[in-house]
Structure 1
Amino acid sequence: MTSKANSPEEYVQELPEERKAIIQKLRKIILDNLPDGFEETMSYGMIGYVIPHSVYPKGHHCTPKLPLPFINIASQKNFVALYHMGIYADKNLLNWFTSAYKKISGRKLDIGKNCIRFKKTEAIPYNLIAELVSKITPQDWIQTYEETIKKKDK
Protein backbone atom coordinates (compact mmCIF):
# COMPACT_ATOMS: atom_id res chain seq x y z
CA MET A 1 0.00 0.00 0.00
CA THR A 2 1.54 3.24 -1.08
CA SER A 3 0.61 6.60 0.31
CA LYS A 4 0.20 9.97 -1.34
CA ALA A 5 1.43 11.70 1.84
CA ASN A 6 3.85 14.57 1.31
CA SER A 7 5.86 14.02 4.50
CA PRO A 8 6.67 11.24 6.96
CA GLU A 9 4.53 13.02 9.56
CA GLU A 10 1.56 13.09 7.18
CA TYR A 11 2.15 9.39 6.41
CA VAL A 12 1.96 8.51 10.12
CA GLN A 13 -1.22 10.55 10.56
CA GLU A 14 -2.94 8.54 7.79
CA LEU A 15 -2.28 5.22 9.55
CA PRO A 16 -4.81 3.26 11.59
CA GLU A 17 -4.33 3.92 15.31
CA GLU A 18 -2.83 0.47 15.97
CA ARG A 19 0.00 1.14 13.49
CA LYS A 20 0.88 4.75 14.37
CA ALA A 21 2.96 3.96 17.46
CA ILE A 22 4.78 1.13 15.68
CA ILE A 23 5.81 3.25 12.68
CA GLN A 24 6.72 6.17 14.96
CA LYS A 25 8.96 3.86 17.01
CA LEU A 26 10.60 2.48 13.85
CA ARG A 27 11.21 6.05 12.61
CA LYS A 28 12.82 7.01 15.92
CA ILE A 29 15.02 3.89 15.96
CA ILE A 30 16.15 4.56 12.40
CA LEU A 31 16.72 8.29 12.86
CA ASP A 32 18.64 7.70 16.12
CA ASN A 33 20.94 5.07 14.58
CA LEU A 34 21.30 5.87 10.89
CA PRO A 35 24.73 7.35 10.08
CA ASP A 36 24.84 11.03 9.13
CA GLY A 37 24.32 11.79 5.47
CA PHE A 38 21.05 9.96 4.88
CA GLU A 39 17.86 11.98 4.62
CA GLU A 40 14.34 11.08 5.69
CA THR A 41 11.72 11.70 3.00
CA MET A 42 8.74 10.16 1.28
CA SER A 43 10.00 7.60 -1.20
CA TYR A 44 7.88 5.27 -3.35
CA GLY A 45 4.81 6.08 -1.23
CA MET A 46 6.57 5.03 1.99
CA ILE A 47 8.79 6.68 4.55
CA GLY A 48 12.23 6.52 3.03
CA TYR A 49 15.84 7.07 4.01
CA VAL A 50 17.86 8.10 1.00
CA ILE A 51 21.14 9.58 -0.10
CA PRO A 52 20.12 13.01 -1.40
CA HIS A 53 21.23 14.39 -4.76
CA SER A 54 23.49 16.85 -2.92
CA VAL A 55 25.61 13.84 -1.88
CA TYR A 56 25.01 11.54 -4.86
CA PRO A 57 23.90 13.64 -7.86
CA LYS A 58 23.42 10.60 -10.13
CA GLY A 59 20.36 9.54 -8.12
CA HIS A 60 18.71 6.17 -8.59
CA HIS A 61 19.80 4.48 -11.83
CA CYS A 62 16.22 3.54 -12.79
CA THR A 63 14.91 7.05 -12.17
CA PRO A 64 17.80 9.53 -11.83
CA LYS A 65 15.48 12.35 -10.74
CA LEU A 66 14.91 10.36 -7.51
CA PRO A 67 17.53 10.25 -4.76
CA LEU A 68 19.36 6.99 -4.10
CA PRO A 69 17.07 4.81 -1.92
CA PHE A 70 18.45 2.89 1.04
CA ILE A 71 15.72 2.05 3.58
CA ASN A 72 11.95 2.32 3.52
CA ILE A 73 9.37 1.53 6.16
CA ALA A 74 5.71 0.96 5.50
CA SER A 75 2.50 -0.16 7.08
CA GLN A 76 1.13 -2.72 4.64
CA LYS A 77 -2.28 -4.39 4.85
CA ASN A 78 -1.15 -7.47 6.80
CA PHE A 79 2.29 -6.51 8.09
CA VAL A 80 4.80 -3.79 8.82
CA ALA A 81 7.69 -3.81 6.35
CA LEU A 82 11.29 -2.72 6.52
CA TYR A 83 12.87 -2.51 3.07
CA HIS A 84 16.66 -2.45 3.40
CA MET A 85 18.65 -2.30 0.17
CA GLY A 86 21.85 -3.19 2.02
CA ILE A 87 20.68 -6.71 2.84
CA TYR A 88 19.79 -7.14 -0.84
CA ALA A 89 23.19 -5.99 -2.07
CA ASP A 90 25.53 -7.30 0.63
CA LYS A 91 25.45 -11.03 1.36
CA ASN A 92 27.60 -10.61 4.47
CA LEU A 93 25.10 -8.14 5.93
CA LEU A 94 22.21 -10.46 5.06
CA ASN A 95 23.98 -13.41 6.71
CA TRP A 96 24.72 -11.36 9.82
CA PHE A 97 21.11 -10.19 10.07
CA THR A 98 19.54 -13.63 9.59
CA SER A 99 21.93 -15.15 12.13
CA ALA A 100 21.32 -12.40 14.69
CA TYR A 101 17.56 -12.64 14.17
CA LYS A 102 17.61 -16.39 14.85
CA LYS A 103 19.44 -15.78 18.14
CA ILE A 104 16.86 -13.34 19.47
CA SER A 105 13.60 -14.55 17.96
CA GLY A 106 11.69 -17.78 18.16
CA ARG A 107 9.97 -16.86 14.91
CA LYS A 108 10.87 -17.69 11.34
CA LEU A 109 12.26 -14.68 9.52
CA ASP A 110 9.85 -13.51 6.82
CA ILE A 111 12.13 -11.91 4.27
CA GLY A 112 12.21 -11.27 0.53
CA LYS A 113 15.02 -9.73 -1.51
CA ASN A 114 15.10 -6.56 0.55
CA CYS A 115 11.80 -6.71 2.42
CA ILE A 116 11.58 -7.85 6.03
CA ARG A 117 7.95 -8.43 6.96
CA PHE A 118 6.64 -8.30 10.52
CA LYS A 119 3.15 -9.81 10.72
CA LYS A 120 3.28 -9.99 14.52
CA THR A 121 4.16 -6.38 15.26
CA GLU A 122 4.73 -7.11 18.95
CA ALA A 123 7.73 -9.21 17.85
CA ILE A 124 9.55 -6.46 15.91
CA PRO A 125 13.21 -6.62 17.04
CA TYR A 126 13.76 -2.88 17.46
CA ASN A 127 17.26 -3.25 18.95
CA LEU A 128 18.36 -5.47 16.08
CA ILE A 129 16.94 -2.99 13.57
CA ALA A 130 18.86 -0.22 15.33
CA GLU A 131 22.06 -2.20 14.88
CA LEU A 132 21.23 -3.06 11.26
CA VAL A 133 20.64 0.54 10.19
CA SER A 134 23.87 1.69 11.85
CA LYS A 135 26.11 -0.67 9.86
CA ILE A 136 26.32 1.18 6.53
CA THR A 137 27.39 4.78 5.97
CA PRO A 138 26.25 6.75 2.92
CA GLN A 139 29.73 6.32 1.41
CA ASP A 140 29.57 2.55 2.02
CA TRP A 141 26.14 2.39 0.42
CA ILE A 142 27.20 4.36 -2.66
CA GLN A 143 30.17 2.05 -3.16
CA THR A 144 28.10 -1.11 -2.67
CA TYR A 145 25.35 0.25 -4.90
CA GLU A 146 27.76 1.05 -7.73
CA GLU A 147 29.58 -2.28 -7.43
CA THR A 148 26.50 -4.50 -7.21
CA ILE A 149 23.09 -3.11 -8.10
CA LYS A 150 24.03 -0.52 -10.72
CA LYS A 151 26.51 -2.95 -12.29
CA LYS A 152 23.79 -5.63 -12.72
CA ASP A 153 21.75 -3.32 -14.92
CA LYS A 154 24.54 -2.69 -17.43
Structure 2
Amino acid sequence: MQIEATSPDDYLQKIPEDRKQSMSRLRATIKENLPEGFQETMSYGMIGYVIPHDIYPAGYHCSPELPLPFMSIASQKNFIAIYHMGIYTNKDLLDWFVREFPKHSKLKLDMGKSCIRFKKPEQIPFELIGELATKMTCEEWIKIYESKVKP
Protein backbone atom coordinates (compact mmCIF):
# COMPACT_ATOMS: atom_id res chain seq x y z
CA MET A 1 0.00 0.00 0.00
CA GLN A 2 1.76 3.14 -1.18
CA ILE A 3 0.44 6.49 -0.02
CA GLU A 4 0.85 9.43 -2.38
CA ALA A 5 2.28 12.15 -0.15
CA THR A 6 4.47 15.19 -0.70
CA SER A 7 5.87 15.43 2.83
CA PRO A 8 6.03 13.41 6.07
CA ASP A 9 3.23 15.56 7.53
CA ASP A 10 1.11 14.93 4.43
CA TYR A 11 1.84 11.20 4.72
CA LEU A 12 0.62 11.10 8.32
CA GLN A 13 -2.57 12.93 7.36
CA LYS A 14 -3.35 10.30 4.71
CA ILE A 15 -2.86 7.08 6.67
CA PRO A 16 -5.76 5.29 8.38
CA GLU A 17 -6.97 7.00 11.54
CA ASP A 18 -6.18 3.99 13.77
CA ARG A 19 -2.48 4.25 12.86
CA LYS A 20 -1.90 8.00 13.08
CA GLN A 21 -0.98 8.10 16.77
CA SER A 22 1.50 5.20 16.56
CA MET A 23 3.07 6.44 13.32
CA SER A 24 3.41 9.97 14.73
CA ARG A 25 5.04 8.62 17.88
CA LEU A 26 7.32 6.37 15.82
CA ARG A 27 8.36 9.33 13.66
CA ALA A 28 9.05 11.47 16.74
CA THR A 29 11.04 8.66 18.40
CA ILE A 30 13.26 8.23 15.36
CA LYS A 31 13.80 11.97 14.86
CA GLU A 32 14.73 12.41 18.53
CA ASN A 33 17.28 9.60 18.44
CA LEU A 34 18.94 9.55 15.02
CA PRO A 35 22.48 10.92 15.12
CA GLU A 36 23.21 14.27 13.52
CA GLY A 37 23.33 14.41 9.74
CA PHE A 38 20.37 12.26 8.78
CA GLN A 39 17.55 14.11 7.06
CA GLU A 40 13.85 13.31 7.08
CA THR A 41 12.20 13.22 3.67
CA MET A 42 9.77 11.25 1.55
CA SER A 43 11.60 8.28 0.10
CA TYR A 44 10.04 5.53 -2.03
CA GLY A 45 6.56 6.51 -0.88
CA MET A 46 7.50 6.26 2.82
CA ILE A 47 8.80 8.60 5.48
CA GLY A 48 12.53 8.19 5.00
CA TYR A 49 15.70 9.09 6.83
CA VAL A 50 18.56 9.62 4.43
CA ILE A 51 22.07 10.95 4.20
CA PRO A 52 21.67 14.09 2.07
CA HIS A 53 23.86 14.93 -0.90
CA ASP A 54 25.67 17.69 1.01
CA ILE A 55 27.11 14.94 3.26
CA TYR A 56 27.32 12.15 0.68
CA PRO A 57 27.37 13.71 -2.83
CA ALA A 58 27.47 10.35 -4.64
CA GLY A 59 23.92 9.57 -3.53
CA TYR A 60 22.32 6.16 -3.87
CA HIS A 61 24.17 4.00 -6.41
CA CYS A 62 20.94 2.76 -8.05
CA SER A 63 19.71 6.34 -8.53
CA PRO A 64 22.50 8.84 -7.81
CA GLU A 65 20.07 11.75 -7.95
CA LEU A 66 18.53 10.37 -4.75
CA PRO A 67 20.15 10.76 -1.33
CA LEU A 68 21.55 7.67 0.38
CA PRO A 69 18.65 5.87 2.14
CA PHE A 70 19.11 4.57 5.66
CA MET A 71 15.81 4.07 7.45
CA SER A 72 12.12 4.36 6.57
CA ILE A 73 8.75 3.92 8.20
CA ALA A 74 5.52 3.05 6.45
CA SER A 75 1.91 2.22 7.04
CA GLN A 76 1.46 -0.90 4.93
CA LYS A 77 -1.80 -2.74 4.28
CA ASN A 78 -1.57 -5.14 7.25
CA PHE A 79 1.18 -3.67 9.41
CA ILE A 80 3.42 -0.75 10.27
CA ALA A 81 6.92 -1.31 8.94
CA ILE A 82 10.33 -0.03 9.92
CA TYR A 83 13.01 -0.51 7.29
CA HIS A 84 16.55 -0.21 8.68
CA MET A 85 19.45 -0.74 6.30
CA GLY A 86 21.92 -0.99 9.19
CA ILE A 87 20.24 -4.15 10.46
CA TYR A 88 20.37 -5.56 6.93
CA THR A 89 24.09 -4.94 6.51
CA ASN A 90 25.55 -5.23 10.02
CA LYS A 91 25.25 -8.67 11.65
CA ASP A 92 26.30 -7.36 15.07
CA LEU A 93 23.49 -4.80 14.99
CA LEU A 94 21.00 -7.43 13.84
CA ASP A 95 22.10 -9.81 16.61
CA TRP A 96 21.78 -7.03 19.20
CA PHE A 97 18.26 -6.18 18.02
CA VAL A 98 17.12 -9.83 18.00
CA ARG A 99 18.49 -10.27 21.57
CA GLU A 100 16.90 -7.06 22.84
CA PHE A 101 13.47 -7.42 21.24
CA PRO A 102 12.07 -9.97 23.75
CA LYS A 103 13.03 -7.63 26.60
CA HIS A 104 10.71 -4.97 25.12
CA SER A 105 7.86 -6.99 23.63
CA LYS A 106 5.81 -10.10 24.36
CA LEU A 107 5.26 -10.54 20.62
CA LYS A 108 7.27 -12.79 18.36
CA LEU A 109 9.67 -10.73 16.25
CA ASP A 110 8.26 -10.40 12.72
CA MET A 111 11.19 -9.43 10.58
CA GLY A 112 12.56 -9.72 7.05
CA LYS A 113 15.99 -8.65 5.81
CA SER A 114 15.65 -4.96 6.67
CA CYS A 115 11.96 -4.84 7.57
CA ILE A 116 10.51 -5.03 11.06
CA ARG A 117 6.72 -5.48 10.98
CA PHE A 118 4.16 -4.60 13.64
CA LYS A 119 0.62 -5.84 13.02
CA LYS A 120 -0.65 -4.13 16.17
CA PRO A 121 0.43 -0.47 16.17
CA GLU A 122 -0.08 -0.14 19.92
CA GLN A 123 2.57 -2.83 20.51
CA ILE A 124 5.51 -1.07 18.87
CA PRO A 125 8.43 -1.05 21.36
CA PHE A 126 9.19 2.67 20.97
CA GLU A 127 12.04 2.70 23.50
CA LEU A 128 13.82 -0.10 21.63
CA ILE A 129 13.28 1.60 18.26
CA GLY A 130 14.70 4.80 19.72
CA GLU A 131 17.77 2.93 20.89
CA LEU A 132 18.12 1.25 17.49
CA ALA A 133 18.05 4.69 15.84
CA THR A 134 21.07 5.77 17.93
CA LYS A 135 23.24 2.81 16.93
CA MET A 136 24.71 4.07 13.64
CA THR A 137 26.09 7.44 12.59
CA CYS A 138 26.10 8.82 9.05
CA GLU A 139 29.82 8.12 8.83
CA GLU A 140 29.37 4.52 9.95
CA TRP A 141 26.53 3.95 7.47
CA ILE A 142 28.55 5.44 4.60
CA LYS A 143 31.51 3.20 5.45
CA ILE A 144 29.34 0.06 5.54
CA TYR A 145 27.45 1.10 2.41
CA GLU A 146 30.64 1.70 0.45
CA SER A 147 32.10 -1.63 1.61
CA LYS A 148 29.04 -3.41 0.18
CA VAL A 149 28.65 -1.40 -3.04
CA LYS A 150 32.32 -0.93 -3.87
CA PRO A 151 34.08 -4.05 -2.56
* TM-score when normalising by structure 2: 0.97
Deviation at residue 90 of structure 1 after TM alignment: 0.2
The aligned counterpart of 1:14 is 14
Give the match's secondary structure for 2:56.
Answer: coil
Deviation at residue 16 of structure 1 after TM alignment: 1.2
Deviation at residue 122 of structure 1 after TM alignment: 1.7
The aligned counterpart of 2:51 is 51
List aligned pairs for 1:103-122, cutoff 5 A: 103-122=103-122
Q: Gapped runs of 5+ residues in structure 1?
A: none
The aligned counterpart of 2:73 is 73
Deviation at residue 120 of structure 1 after TM alignment: 1.7
Deviation at residue 107 of structure 1 after TM alignment: 1.6
Deviation at residue 15 of structure 1 after TM alignment: 1.0
The residue identity in structure 2 corresponding to 1:151 is K
Listed one character per residue, the Cα deviations across residues 40-78 of structure 1 (whole Å, up to 9, x for unaligned) are: 000000000000011001101111111000000000010
The aligned counterpart of 1:131 is 131
Give the match's secondary structure for 2:83.
Answer: strand
Listed one character per residue, the Cα deviations across residues 120-139 of structure 1 (whole Å, up to 9, x for unaligned) are: 22211000000000111100
The aligned counterpart of 2:95 is 95
CA contact (8 A) 2:34 2:134 kept: yes
Deviation at residue 151 of structure 1 after TM alignment: 3.5
The residue identity in structure 1 corresponding to 2:24 is Q
Structure 2: how far apart are the matches of 1:121 and 1:8?
18
Give the match's secondary structure for 1:77.
Answer: coil
* TM-score when normalising by structure 1: 0.95
Structure 1: how far apart are the matches of 2:50 and 2:68?
5
Identity %: 59
The residue identity in structure 2 corresponding to 1:37 is G
The aligned counterpart of 1:151 is 150
